[in-house]
Amino acid sequence: MSNSSPSERYSTAQRALHWLSLLAITVAYVAIEIRGDMAKTHEWRPFVTQVHFWAGLSVLAMVIARIYLRWRRPTPAIVPALSPLAARLAGVTHVLIYAVLLVQPVLGMFAAAAGGKAIIVPLLGIALPALIGKSDALEDRFEEWHETLGELFYWVIGLHVAAALWHHFVRRDNTLRRMM
């Protein structure tokens, strides 16, 4: 499918983490949407909530690894090269995405703790230590920030995907192949 040599692409770890993050983010969104449609008494509701928590926490773990890899390894060149303005816009968008992927799970952990919702370690059944004590006022605030950022992020991802498709099908450069 690709005619790029490995050195022209992101590293295997970077590519794997990019697509696994997409999967985990999708699971987090789908789980929270399903949960929203469930009755409060539904027997699967606590499980679906934990799926949201752990998908989100795995995004956090992966983004830390991704930022480290990004810092350690030069980014493979886009051919033909972008104009300085387009390159700057892409860079700003990527920094924004990394920032959301770091902040959103942390806001979620604060929202869960303030709401008295435990994050249960699968198989072990023990709860992670809560970041803060239960508080209705803080729960409202963190949930609001977490929800707003969650909704804004749809637009950022939409822009990112549109840019990737534009590179591949309109500009016909190697941007997408570098991530495949």
Short-list 55, 52, 61, 155, CA closest to 102: 61
Question: Crossing angle for the helix pair 12-37 and 45-72, nearest 10 degrees?
Answer: 160
Site stretch for ligand HEM (CB under 6 A), options 1-9, 37-45, 130-138, 149-157: 149-157
Is residue 84 part of the contact set for ligand HEM (CB under 6 A)? no
Encoded tokens for 18: 């990019």
Is residue 111 part of the contact set for ligand HEM (CB under 6 A)? yes
Is residue 36 part of the contact set for ligand HEM (CB under 6 A)? yes
Is residue 88 part of the contact set for ligand HEM (CB under 6 A)? no
Cα gap 135→116, rounded to integer Å: 8
Question: Least distance from C-beta 68 to ligand HEM, angstroms?
Answer: 11
Is residue 21 part of the contact set for ligand HEM (CB under 6 A)? yes
Is residue 32 part of the contact set for ligand HEM (CB under 6 A)? yes
Contact by Cβ (8 Å): 82, 91:
no
3-state SS assignment for residue 151: helix
| H or E stretch at 149 | helix 136-165
Cα gap 146→96, rounded to integer Å: 16
In the list 27, 57, 103, 132, the residue contacting ligand HEM (rule: CB under 6 A) is: 57
Contact by Cβ (8 Å): 47, 34:
no
Residue carrying the six token digits 């929270």: 32
Verify cis geometry, omega within 30 degrees of 0, for the bond prior to 80: yes
Cβ distance to ligand HEM smaller for residue 138 or 179: 179
Is residue 20 part of the contact set for ligand HEM (CB under 6 A)? no
Question: Least distance from C-beta 5 to ligand HEM, angstroms?
Answer: 16
Point out which residues bind ligand HEM (CB under 6 A): 18, 21-22, 25, 28-29, 32, 36, 52-53, 56-57, 59, 70, 75, 90, 94, 97-98, 104-105, 108-109, 111-112, 115, 117, 119, 143, 146-147, 150, 153, 157, 160-161, 164-165, 175-176, 178-179
